[in-house]
Amino acid sequence: MALIFAYCSRLWQIRHMSQWRPDVPHNELPTPPGVDELETRSVLKAAIGANTALAKLDQAASSIPNPTVLINTIPLLEAQASSEIENIVTTTDALFRHIDEPAAADPATRETLLYRTALREGFEQTIDRGLTTATASTVCSIIKGREMQIRALPGTRIGNPVTGELTYSPPEGRDLIAGKLSEWERFIHAEDGMDPLVRMAVAHYQFEAIHPFTDGNGRTGRILNVLMLVEAGLLRHPLLYLSRYIIETKNEYYQLLRAVTEESAWEKWILYILTGIERTSLATFHKIAAIRELQDEFVRRGRTVSRGGADSEFQSVLFEQPYCRISTVMTRCGVSRPTATSWLGAFAEAGLLQDIKVGRGRLFVNREFLQLLVRAEPSTNGLRTDGREGRHLHVSIPAYAEIPVM
């Protein structure tokens, strides 16, 4: 009986997909297929590699003496890359320079820093109360800097903003969208034995297809990805840096999203996401190893140039905040201004830090650490992240942007 039901359900989905049109609201967006259909042999094989790589990343992140170093930096790289997908482009330098003073930053940098704040708040809510549709609303509201509610007005269309070609029209109507979000929430918590990485891939498509808010859906969905893995117990910290992979394969990302809508091409989509998880996890694993090596080198060299070099808290500050202020060292290390200035100055004279003037103040930059954060790291097939400081892979036009209805 169960097989008959599944077969009939699948026939309905195929017939429905054939009736889909990009210019008509997708109010009949179906729920995802069952685990037996989604977890094909190829998917299960790819999931083994992705889960192994993710576990390796999680173990490396948890074994580092001061995880705050990673929590303060890698999510900021994710914020930068995820924002760049939406053509909000800033630089690593600008992000770290203004991390404590966002009001002085340019608009793109301020908006990217909001992504980091949203990720942290979403992480805390997920740990405290689990991942829900309310979490999605909170995350989107922080990203946009205002309260974001479920879309109520019709007319949202997604497509090429240059040519005007429509590629998708999400569901319409507040109650209908709320119902689709409830289905999404039930799916991510279903106890059906589905691999959590497969579930994440499917749930990401479903959330983007629902497109519940007037803006910020892409960035919200990418935050929800890592929160799903945290809730599933696969990550103890939100450190999966997946958006850079999406940037470098952006055309494929949008083509596969559309293929799921048009022809229910779930396997290709899931394999794409699993490949990204494996590659990204391994690249981040190597980055963590490089960070630990650089920290050890700073300790070794620092002890020869200043008494501060032997202070573990001082060493931590230099990696938690690559742009370090004298006042930060005073507060964290419990030392006077002359002592903090002396420690930082000695490191700058030894070439470990760069001393730069900003207005009336001074910033001490851990330039080697910044270069390490943005450099390419090896992955399973050599897929690289852009390693040139202050430069990134620019995307001219989003392939999946909201456009006005004519």
Residues of the chain with CATH 1.10.3290.10: 20-283+386-403
Is-contact 46 274, C-beta < 8 A? Answer: yes
CA-closest candidate to residue 229, choices 266, 182, 264, 276: 276
Is-contact 70 245, C-beta < 8 A? Answer: no
Fold of 20-283+386-403: Fic-like fold (1.10.3290)
Q: Is 352 helix (H, G, I), strand (E, B) or coil?
A: coil
Where residue 359 falls among pLDDT bands split at 50, 70, 90? confident
The pLDDT of residue 342 is 96
Q: What is the DSSP letter of 401?
A: E
Residues of the chain with CATH 1.10.10.10: 288-373
Q: What is the mean pLDDT of the chain?
A: 87
The pLDDT of residue 400 is 52
pLDDT higher than 80, residue 145: yes
The whole-number average pLDDT for the span 328-348 is 95
Taking only the tens place, the pLDDT of each residue in 151-179 is: 998 888 888 777 888 999 999 999 999 99
Distance between CA atoms of residues 135 and 156, nearest Å: 23
**CATH code for the structural domain at 288-373:** 1.10.10.10
Is the pLDDT higher at 335 or at 6?
335
Distance between CA atoms of residues 170 and 205, nearest Å: 12
